[in-house]
Structure 1
Amino acid sequence: MSVVCGRYVVDGRDGRIGKVMGQVGPYVQLRPPGGGREWDCPPGALRPAEPRDELRAKVAELNRMSRLP
């Protein structure tokens, strides 16, 4: 699987959905939908997010943005 910044993926180790923010060394940096602390994941543990998961993540981001001043 190619790792593209901005794409939503699933961390296969624990099932968390994250947005790809970049790659540092051997790890891909992911951020949870709606913001929060990034975490590192080995590229081999990633899988593409299902369409419903990606939609849920985008809605979470839009909801967070609507609450900002």
Structure 2
Amino acid sequence: MLKKLQTNLLLKFKELKKEERGSQTLEWIGIAAVIVILVGVISTAMSNADSIGNDVVEKISELISQIGGGS
């Protein structure tokens, strides 16, 4: 059963790879995965009260204030 699923997935990826739209779809999926990972890391850093989380939150706050014309 697992072998059949693996074969079906491989065939679908090969079909997507043949078409340009399929390649673009895979690229967008990769970009979305990176964004989800970044959001997860940031939310974890903000929820933790340890020094690493505080450092990340402070850096992000500094960057946002610089973009907004703050100090």
Please, what TM-score do these two structures have when normalized by structure 2? Answer: 0.33
- Higher share of residues assigned strand: 1
Larger Rg: 2
TM-score (norm 1): 0.33
